[in-house]
Each structure stands twice: as structure tokens, then as C-alpha cells.
Amino acid sequence: MSYLHPYSSVEALFSAYLQSRKNELSFHSQNFYTRTFKNCTPDEIKVLPLCEFKEEHFTDLFRHLNAVFSDAYVSRASMIYTNMFELALLKKLIHSNPCHKIKYKSEQAYTKKILTDEELSCIVKLIQYSPLVNMYGLAITTGMRQGELLGLSRESVLCGGTALCVNQYLTYCRARHKYKLSTDMSRYGLPRTIILSHPAQFFLRNQLMQVDLWKNSYGWYSPDSLIFHDPDGKCLQQSFINQENIQIRHLSGVPGFNIQLLRENYCINALRRGVNHKALQQYMGYIMPQQILHMYYCAVGGEQREVASSTQPFYSQLEEHSHVK
């Protein structure tokens, strides 16, 4: 840190911050921090001197990122910025941390994003040109989680492709840097059977035909018989899924698009159509009923919340004349 001064660039500060944590972070974590900083930081911010980096720069930067990337990704980027400027503050390179306690997230970070008919129609058109069209299609028509979709195998297909048995999921082990199948459904609820609609059967049938085509063309064998994987038979990489999500976000203008967003809107639309919440909880694999209740709060729309907030002036007047302290 001795070579840094108040007029050093933001990129130089990040390099020094990463060097200071070299003994704490693994090689994989250092590469992840570097990729995150490069993807989230425009060139004009990288060359900006530390003394000129203000709260407005941080707020504008993350307001833009929040419209493109997922909430989890933006949160990690915010953590990196906050920590590296905190280090600069400790070294007395700046007078205050411009990233400290700034609420850059919009209201959508605290409430579920409800897709409009136009947004959902635009997404449906865009996924038709994606190599993950069948996985996105099953997510839209069944509301399954990403791990559950990636964990589907030939044995999961029931009744000639009219139902799916969800009894395992694919997860990424950070310690070993590889994917593994898990049958412990305590995190996702009990194993369940999903009855497929005609559109869901269409996407499943297309994916099975694609897998058979890859096997005949490349001559590989998958011992797990997974339905969703690369043409060479390996598991779909999370980086590839993220790239497809980001591309659809850019083209559709829907912030935070991912499979979880499709799942939440499937649940919200089902509640709006009058589906019983207990049956939906079992179908979606939710463990706690509070998760469905949160979805129901989103499903009722803004009308009822407006009715509730319309009584606020009355309560304020009541508090002014109340003798109870």
C-alpha cells in the first residue's frame, strides 16, 4: 500500500486490496473477485482517482448494475467496493468511505419482481433462440428450481413423459470445484411428482430428442443419464447459464432475470388464478408456509396495499390526539 496515494486510480486500489488479502483468499476466490470487478466497473471508473470517487459515483454505478445483474451478484460487487475503500480509509488515503451505508438497491430488491404480460411475452420470444430453450421452457411451465432441473435424469421421467419425479438436484461444491448430485431433499422439501402440462411435455420431449442426437453424433455415455448437459456430456457450467441470463436481461429489459424469477412468477400467477396455497406449497416444494405467504402478498397486487396505506393519515391523526405515551 506504500505506493498508493490519494490520486491513485480505483483499479490500482483494487489491485492493492487483492494483494492485501492474498493469504486469506484462495486462487479461485481471487479470480472470482477479479472477474467481478472487471465486469462491474466501467473504464471511466477504473481510471478515476480515489480522491475524486464520490458517493454519487457509487450510487449511479450500482443503480445501473442492479438493472442488469442479479441481486446476489450486485451484492458481492458492493462488498468488494466497500471493503477496498475501507482499506483506503484505514491507510488515510481518503477522508471517508464513499461506499459505506449507501442503499443502492431499488424497491424491487425487497419485493418480488412480478412480470407483466408484455415482459413474459418478450422473454418467451427470446428464449426460443437460446441453447437453453428447453430448460427455460420447463422452468416457465413447471416452476422448478435450477438445481432440480439440472438434476433431472431419464429415471425422473414418468408415465411416458407426462410427469416428472423430483428426487435429486445438482449442486456445485466450491471446495472441490465440481458438481455433484444430491438426493438429500431436506433443503428443497420432500421428493415430489410433478404433472406436466402439454407445453411442458413439449419442452421435455425436445430435450430428450436433443440428448439422443448428441449421443449418436458424439458417441459418449453419461452414467448419470442427466437430461440437461453440454453436447459433450458434461454438466452445464454455471458461467454458461449466467451468460444466457445476462443476454436475456439486456434484450428484454427485465432486471434480475434468471430461473428463480421464472419460478416466483409461476407461483404468483398460480395464486392469482385461485390455486389452493397448501396444494401449491407441496407442488412447488416449499418447506415453510411463510414462503407461500410471501408470494401471496405479491400476488394480491398493489390495490390492496393502496387501501391499507390510505388509512395512514387517520392513524397519524389518532397518534397526535392519543394520551397513551
Distances (CA, A) of 102 to 71, 129, 143: 15, 39, 34
Q: Minimal CA–CA distance to 70: which of 121, 36, 103?
A: 36
Cβ–Cβ contacts within 10 Å for residue 153, how many? 17
Lowest-confidence range among 19-33, 164-178, 215-229, 264-278? 215-229
164 has which bridge partners?
A: 157, 194
Amino acid at 144: M
Write the Ramachandran bin of 219: left for phi over 0, alpha for psi from -120 to 50, otherwise beta.
left
Q: Which long-range contacts (CB under 8 A, 24 or more apart) does 269-274 make?
A: 269/299, 270/143, 271/295, 271/296, 271/299, 272/299
- H or E element in which residue 172 lies: strand 169-173
The whole-angstrom separation of Cα 136 and Cα 24 is 38
- Residue 219: is its pLDDT beyond 60? yes
The CATH class given to the 117-302 domain equals: mainly alpha
Predicted structure pTM score: 0.61
State whether residue 10 is helix, strand or coil. Answer: helix
Cell numbers standing for residue 181: 448430485
Amino acid at 285: G
Cβ–Cβ contacts within 10 Å for residue 31, how many? 11
Mean pLDDT computed over every residue of the chain: 78
Q: What's the pLDDT at 58?
A: 83
Identify how many contiguous H helices and E strands the chain contains and give both numbers: 15, 5
CATH architecture of 10-109: Orthogonal Bundle (1.10)
Report the pLDDT averaged over residues 146-168.
89
- Residue 22: is its pLDDT beyond 90? no
The whole-angstrom separation of Cα 144 and Cα 191 is 12
Q: Minimal CA–CA distance to 142: which of 99, 94, 202?
A: 202
Q: What's the pLDDT at 203?
A: 92
Rg (CA), the chain: 24
Q: What's the pLDDT at 289?
A: 67
Residue pLDDT, tens place only, 47-58? 888 888 888 888
Topology agreement, domain 10-109 and domain 117-302: no
Instruction: Name the range with the highest mean pLDDT among 113-122, 202-211, 285-294.
Output: 202-211
The whole-angstrom separation of Cα 130 and Cα 119 is 17
Percent pLDDT > 70 in the chain is 77
Domain ranges of the chain: 10-109, 117-302
Angle, alpha carbons 191-196-199 (nearest 5°): 145
Residue pLDDT, tens place only, 243-285? 899 899 889 888 888 898 898 888 888 888 888 878 888 888 8
Q: Minimal CA–CA distance to 138: which of 209, 192, 197?
A: 197
**For the sheet containing 157-158, what is the strand order?**
157-158, 163-166, 192-195
Structural contact between residues 187 and 165, judged by C-beta atoms closer than 8 angstroms: no
Residue pLDDT, tens place only, 73-121? 787 888 888 888 888 888 888 888 888 755 544 444 445 678 888 888 8
Q: How confident is the model at residue 299 (pLDDT cuts 50, 70, 90)?
A: low
